[in-house]
């Protein structure tokens, strides 16, 4: 980052304050000084400093109070606390509050310089990562979605066309394909972007609580209703409500959701009064809602109401050309969060990434790369990848005869086999099995009944 960085020194002991100013000036830093936290706060309010060196014990305003007030105004500030013997616990507490580091008194010149150089390196990495993410997003992305694949580019065009309409949108795609990212992109590109975006996973909330979560309730409406509650529809008023895994919504609630969409009003649990709302609804599912509607597992009238405009997200195996781009993006994101130097993916590791079928899609890729970055130092090699990636086990599919080439039947057979294996692995624990399968507990119960699995 070079010299001429601006440093504010806050220290009540005049001799130490002067010594630090002279020493850091000799290293090329531009220094200002303050005798206590209150004076330091005034200086920090009128000038942006690259780093702040701040003592903890001072009159008028101590270092801890100064830290809290500065971070409230400028959360990205890099504050280094200085602590004498007996105040180390307080210094650690300051780091939990957001301080970058602390130096124990008495300290040597080299200690101060080393901590500042580390801080410089961290800021350099943060700046480089931010610039790279902006370049990637600008050239190969749209509203936070990274892709140069033609299928995704077509979806970006669809988002632009539908974003400002109030049309109900159904996003379909396998688990981990980025359905919520697409919903957020629709919201961000609409005139509703300044209003709330509220997301809820319909499969993650117990059936008995889902109605109250969506529509709110009045005090006394049921046993635990000790106060009035504002529902998610009302929280999203003027903005967008995203209902993820809409296929997991119980039938009893589907009819009430249909009424909300038709009448554009909600009725909180425990009241007879309805309230008008202005909400743009986006729903998403990894299920085949059309098939579910045909057999009565999902209301057909609600399906047609939700399915005015459909966006079908491709699985990662159909956009393998995005893997190098996504991998670079995820590595930069992980490294920025951990303050580490840039890692790269070796050619052998990339070959394995490109030959794997990614049943967990983008979410699985992110998790694999984060794990690899922890295990490897610098270059990510094939040895850093999980055995399933190196073995390509997700591509192993039972052979089909020429007389049975039905994709739906093959998918059902694979799904049934995976459920059986998950149940066996967890000794019949359905909650644990659902987590392994990455589906909701309710969905697993339904599938166990459908396939006749005990």
pLDDT bin (cut points 50, 70, 90) of residue 189 is very high
Average of pLDDT values for 169-195? 93
Q: Is 158-313 the same fold as 6-125?
A: yes
Per-residue model confidence (pLDDT) at position 316: 93
pLDDT bin (cut points 50, 70, 90) of residue 199 is very high
Local structure of residue 227 (DSSP, 8 states): S
Per-residue model confidence (pLDDT) at position 398: 43
pLDDT bin (cut points 50, 70, 90) of residue 399 is very low
Per-residue model confidence (pLDDT) at position 1: 43
Angle between helices 347-355 and 323-338 (to 10 degrees): 120
Whether the per-residue pLDDT at 183 is higher than 90: the answer is yes
Record: fold of 407-451? Arc Repressor Mutant, subunit A (1.10.10)
Segments in 264-299 forming alpha helices (H)? 289-294
Which tens digit of pLDDT belongs to each residue from 316-354?
A: 988 988 998 898 888 877 765 555 555 678 888 888 898
Whether the per-residue pLDDT at 182 is higher than 90: the answer is yes
Phi, psi angle pair for 37, to nearest 5°: -65, -35
Looking at the structure, give the CATH architecture of the domain made up of residues 317-395: Orthogonal Bundle (1.10)
Which tens digit of pLDDT belongs to each residue from 106-137?
A: 888 888 888 898 888 888 777 766 655 555 55
Phi, psi angle pair for 244, to nearest 5°: -80, 150
Average of pLDDT values for 293-311? 93
CATH homologous superfamily, domain 6-125? Response regulator (3.40.50.2300)
Whether the per-residue pLDDT at 186 is higher than 90: the answer is yes
Per-residue model confidence (pLDDT) at position 280: 93
Per-residue model confidence (pLDDT) at position 335: 66
How far is it, in rounded angstroms, from Cα 221 to Cα 71?
Answer: 42
To the question of pTM greater than 0.75 for the whole model, the response is: no
Local structure of residue 310 (DSSP, 8 states): E
Do 202 and 210 form a contact (C-beta atoms < 8 A)? yes
Which tens digit of pLDDT belongs to each residue from 207-262?
A: 778 888 888 877 766 767 777 788 899 899 999 999 999 999 999 899 999 999 99
How far is it, in rounded angstroms, from Cα 329 to Cα 367?
Answer: 13
CATH homologous superfamily, domain 158-313? P-loop containing nucleotide triphosphate hydrolases (3.40.50.300)
Phi, psi angle pair for 399, to nearest 5°: -65, 145
Domain boundaries, the chain: 6-125, 158-313, 317-395, 407-451
């Amino acid at each position: 980052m070079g010299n001429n960085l601006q440093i504010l020194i806050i220290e009540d002991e005049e001799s130490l304050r002067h010594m630090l100013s002279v020493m850091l000036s000799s290293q090329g830093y531009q220094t200002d000084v303050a005798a206590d936290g209150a004076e330091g706060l005034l200086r920090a309010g009128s000038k942006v400093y690259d780093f702040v060196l701040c003592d903890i014990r001072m009159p008028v305003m101590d270092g801890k109070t100064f830290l809290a007030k500065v971070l409230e105004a400028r959360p990205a500030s890099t504050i280094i606390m200085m602590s004498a013997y007996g105040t180390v616990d307080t210094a650690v507490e300051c780091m939990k509050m957001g301080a970058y580091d602390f130096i124990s008194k008495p300290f040597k010149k080299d200690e101060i310089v080393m901590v500042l150089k580390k801080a410089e390196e961290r800021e350099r990495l943060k700046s480089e990562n931010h610039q790279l993410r902006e370049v990637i997003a600008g050239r190969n992305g749209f509203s936070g979605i990274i892709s140069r694949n033609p299928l995704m580019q077509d979806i970006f065009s669809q988002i632009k066309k539908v974003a400002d309409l109030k049309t109900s949108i159904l996003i379909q795609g396998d688990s981990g394909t980025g359905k919520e990212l697409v919903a957020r992109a629709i919201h961000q590109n609409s005139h509703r972007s300044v209003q709330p975006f509220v997301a809820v996973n319909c499969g993650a909330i117990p059936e008995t609580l889902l109605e109250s979560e969506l529509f709110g309730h009045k005090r006394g409406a049921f046993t635990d209703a000790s106060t009035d509650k504002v529902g998610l529809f009302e929280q999203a008023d003027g903005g967008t409500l995203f209902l993820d895994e809409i296929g997991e919504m119980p039938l009893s609630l589907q009819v009430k959701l249909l009424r909300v969409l038709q009448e554009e009003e909600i009725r909180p649990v425990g009241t007879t009064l309805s309230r008008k709302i202005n909400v743009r609804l986006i729903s998403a599912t990894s299920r085949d809602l059309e098939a579910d509607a045909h057999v009565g597992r999902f209301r057909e009238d609600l399906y047609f109401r939700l399915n005015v405009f459909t966006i079908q997200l491709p699985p990662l195996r159909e956009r393998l050309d995005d893997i190098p781009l996504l991998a670079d993006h995820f590595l930069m994101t992980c490294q920025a969060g951990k303050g580490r130097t840039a890692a790269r993916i070796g050619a052998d590791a990339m070959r394995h990434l490109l030959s794997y079928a990614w049943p967990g899609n983008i979410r699985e890729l992110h998790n694999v790369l984060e794990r690899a970055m922890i295990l490897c130092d610098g270059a990510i090699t094939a040895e850093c990848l999980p055995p399933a990636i190196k073995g390509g086990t997700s591509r192993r599919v039972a052979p089909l005869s020429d007389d049975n080439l039905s994709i739906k039947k093959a998918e059902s057979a694979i799904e049934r086999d995976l459920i059986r294996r998950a149940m066996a692995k967890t000794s019949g624990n359905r909650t644990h099995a659902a987590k392994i399968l990455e589906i909701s507990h309710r969905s697993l119960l339904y599938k166990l009944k459908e396939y006749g699995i005990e």
